[in-house]
Structure 1
Amino acid sequence: MLLQTLIDDALAETPPGRAVWVALSGGLDSSLLLTLAADACRRHPRPLHALHVHHGLQSAADDFERHCRQLCAQLGVPLSVERASVAPDGGQGLEGAAREARYAAFARRVGEGETLWLAQHRDDQAETFLLAALRGSGVRGLAGMPPRRLWQGRELQRPLLGVARAELEAAARQLAVSWVEDPSNDDIALDRNRLRHALMPALEARWPQAAASLARSAHLAGEAEALLGELAALDLATLGGCAERLPLAPLVALSAPRQRLLLRHCCQTLGLPPPPAARLATLLEQLDSRRDAEVRVAWSGGEARCWRDALYLLAPSTPLPESWQADWDGRLPLDTPLGRLICTLTHERDEEVALQVSARRGGERLAQPQRGRRDLKRLLQEAGVPPWRRRRLLVVWLGEQVVAVLDEMGRAVVPCAPGWSLTLHQPGPAAPGSG
């Protein structure tokens, strides 16, 4: 059976001994995928698990879960059920919010290094291509869903992506696979359903191979996207290889399309959402601003800043509250508004001290080895600490004397005062906008 061969090949590509998960909605596609996966894992022993995400968006949601439990019991596959909270008011619509909640559930349950199989097929890919084209997407959007990709340390695979839905339905009936029909699939108020029920039948009546051709176009767009990614990686290497800090002169020397490509590539590398087209255009317009101008362009989940002939890409951050302060013994972990500080700050005499940690107050001075007391503002400028990071620094005092200045990770941004030593035990929690 061709489908079983596809599943066997996909199983052979997964790391030996690692668990394979199947995202099980209860519909035709995922129920068939789990059935084929169970057969493959019996013949080629491998831990297999099913994961059902209960969205709770419709009255039939409990029926989906009930079917998934029955199918998994029949196949002898352990089932995990994740209940997701969908918030459709985030500006991405109900479909987008449900997808985000679903992937959050995947991340909670599927371990890093494990593989998750998704049941999308060729018709889904064709619809994705059309939706992207109607939204005016570029090559990345037109590429649709990749057959496999690394996502947050997990391998996502779509073993059935090249198979038509009609073939899947025929195989499911041949194998006597049961499934549940989702009533929301008939709601043509949803964009994908309108394409599926109204547009695709009209296209296939005139061009019988429409779905296959559109899926093929998505595949070719994926190849083009991969080549563009290689070009962006080469440009990034030429500019120094640091995705969060790009030198402005060589960046501006690139053509506008390569600038856009490089910035999107850097955002992807950093795990930031890429800026929308309008915000990206605004950013490129400001790259030629005066070098002393404080350029900041923000979008949902990210921002770009220009400083000292470089463009910085970072997650949005908030300054340390000016009034915040806390007592610290220099040894125990300290909770701050920026996260937990896990480091040890001790004096060479190794005596117990009563320290205070605060936000910057302005006018601080810090003694430096062989340099005497220096203005902290000048020291931070000399150390190349960007202005937005200076507003998130932790100043450590012993009485009226500053003895150290730390970032939110517990690292000293300038040398500690003479006689003081800092030990960073482990990285603190990632803080947005650490730059």
Structure 2
Amino acid sequence: MSNLDPRLITKLLPASCRTVYVAYSGGVDSHVLLHLAATGAQLRERIVAVYVNHGLQAAAAAWGEHCRDQCRELGVVFKIVKVDAVARNGEGPEAAAREARYRALNQLLQTDDVLLLAQHRDDQMETLLLQLFRGAGVAGLAGMPVDAAFGCGRMLRPFLDTSKKDICEYALANNLQWVEDPSNQSSDFDRNFLRNQIVPLLKQRWPSLDKTVARSAAHCGEASRMLEDWADSILAELIDPESKSISLVGLSRLAESQRRVVLRKWLARFGLKPPSTAVIKALTEQMSGRRLNASPLQVQIQGYCILGYRQKLFCIPAAALGKFAGNLLWPKPDARLDLGNGYGLARVEASSGIAKAHWDGAEVLVKARAGGEKLKLPGRSGHHCLKKLYQEAGVPPWERDQRPLVYLDGRLAAVAGLWVAEWAWASGATAVYRVVWQAENGFGDSKRR
């Protein structure tokens, strides 16, 4: 007889917890999780059971109705979410369905909400074995965490130290009704192949395999957290907070194994998936094979380009590297102007910048850099070529052709986000505009100048 208890769930919930979402597929694992959560009167009022319809099974709609009926009996709120789980760009069907499901669930959570998942100790064992077969490092071999940040809230897995056997015993003892997904019997999928054919054979030899492998995952998790903390402390010293670039000089002082850990952690901060060993190896080899004061490399990864300039590495969305080639009229009433290349301009009031008197009475044109432009800066003698100013300020080469130039009545007044010509310059609390150049369309927040 299973000894599952609602305290498995309640002990994990943060004190500030509001809504408790339960990922509910209708299968035995998620049904037991939902039933266990609903047995607590205080918890039941906060539960929302969520069925994600991937549209991959003919019976998906019927399963959704089954889940609705079960939630009605339990007295909990029920919600169906439909997703597009079609695999794209070389994704496997399992990965595509998982990513679609997590995206949908992520969008539901608000601050102080939690998501409960029914993955158990046998799932953890399968995850670790699959990661091992794929050549994962310590982070991959840590498997799934019990508690993790997820969207605006938390993701909790209360059953990670619970066996499948205990879950099934609970379901039978409580006369639960669940659905069986026939695709679980197909060994075409890696996890099903492992679950249906390999693990039963292994358990004949090692009956406690799920416990011992889960213990290994816990050890790897502890080691992974130590590495994460160490890498965070190193990155705090090496990263430029404005450009998010990383110091090549600082990286060169690390051992090669340490450098790989730090580079992976740095790339993760851009939302990139862990790069392959081959990519990291190519990156470190190119870094060590060139002079630090030269442009060290250009590597493409997951839609980003890793670029080097002045002893720093930059990670830039590839879509944001196109030159600005426009010649745009800035309408007078508009405070913002879309440049059409992933960036935009914003006109804001400031204490110093372009005099409003100049701006308000002029035709404002935004142009691409043509080459040879000069600017006389406030407080400096002579006119300076933009090329020299860019070099002096350490503006990366790829950024120089992205930044637009602002003209008032045909006269160069400013380089967006950097300099204002002396003739257009003014300072004062209410008589000045500043032109801010910033990324649009999700290109990050590194261009806010």
TM-score of the aligned structures, taking structure 2 as reference length: 0.88
> Is the 1:322–1:361 Cα contact (8 Å) retained in structure 2?
no
Shift of 1:197: 0.6
Deviation per CA, 1:253-309: give whole Å up to 9, x if none: 211110000111112233233322111111101113133235111111433221101
In the aligned structure 1, how far is the partner of 2:154 from the partner of 2:435?
Answer: 33
Say what the alpha-carbon RMSD is for the aligned residues.
2.5
In the aligned structure 1, how far is the partner of 2:12 from the partner of 2:436?
Answer: 41
- Counterpart of 2:418, as a letter, is V
Pairing 1:41-52 to 2, within 5 Å after superposition: 42-44=41-43, 47-52=46-51
Counterpart of 1:38 in structure 2 is: 38
Counterpart of 1:208 in structure 2 is: 207
Shift of 1:65: 1.2
Q: Tell me, yes or no, if structure 1 residue 334 matches structure 2 residue 337.
A: yes
In the aligned structure 1, how far is the partner of 2:404 from the partner of 2:111?
Answer: 33
- Counterpart of 1:297, as a letter, is V
> Is the 1:343–1:426 Cα contact (8 Å) retained in structure 2?
no
In the aligned structure 2, how far is the partner of 1:187 from the partner of 1:327?
Answer: 60
Counterpart of 1:391 in structure 2 is: 401
Counterpart of 1:401 in structure 2 is: 411
Q: Tell me, yes or no, if structure 1 residue 5 matches structure 2 residue 20.
A: no
Deviation per CA, 1:10-68: give whole Å up to 9, x if none: 23x2524x21111111111111111222223x235752212221110121211221122
| Percent of paired sites with the same residue | 35
Give 5+ residue unaligned stretches, structure 2.
Answer: 427-431
Pairing 1:85-234 to 2, within 5 Å after superposition: 85-234=84-233
1:414 to 413, 419, 432: 419
TM-score of the aligned structures, taking structure 1 as reference length: 0.90
- Residues 320 and 245 of structure 1: is their aligned pair in 2 closer, same or farther, counting only changes over 3 Å? closer
- Counterpart of 2:379, as a letter, is Q
- Counterpart of 1:270, as a letter, is F
> Is the 2:106–2:150 Cα contact (8 Å) retained in structure 1?
no
In the aligned structure 1, how far is the partner of 2:67 from the partner of 2:87?
Answer: 25
> Is the 1:316–1:432 Cα contact (8 Å) retained in structure 2?
no
Deviation per CA, 1:89-119: give whole Å up to 9, x if none: 3222111111111111112222244211111
In the aligned structure 1, how far is the partner of 2:16 from the partner of 2:435?
Answer: 35
- Residues 425 and 258 of structure 1: is their aligned pair in 2 closer, same or farther, counting only changes over 3 Å? closer
Deviation per CA, 1:343-400: give whole Å up to 9, x if none: 3375342634321123322222233112253222222222222122223212222233
In the aligned structure 1, how far is the partner of 2:234 from the partner of 2:83?
Answer: 40
Is 238-247 or 19-28 further displaced after alignment? Answer: 238-247
SS of the equivalent of 1:334 reads strand
Shift of 1:74: 1.9
Shift of 1:426: 12
Deviation per CA, 1:111-167: give whole Å up to 9, x if none: 244211111110000000000011111111111111111133321111111111110
SS of the equivalent of 1:92 reads coil
Is 83-92 or 141-150 further displaced after alignment? Answer: 83-92
Is 234-243 or 146-155 further displaced after alignment? Answer: 234-243
SS of the equivalent of 1:368 reads coil
Give 5+ residue unaligned stretches, structure 1.
Answer: 407-411
In the aligned structure 1, how far is the partner of 2:234 from the partner of 2:66?
Answer: 51
2:320 to 318, 321, 334: 318
Counting matched residue pairs gives 427
Is 107-116 or 239-248 further displaced after alignment? Answer: 239-248
1:369 to 346, 367, 378: 378
Shift of 1:318: 3.1
Counterpart of 2:355 in structure 1 is: 347
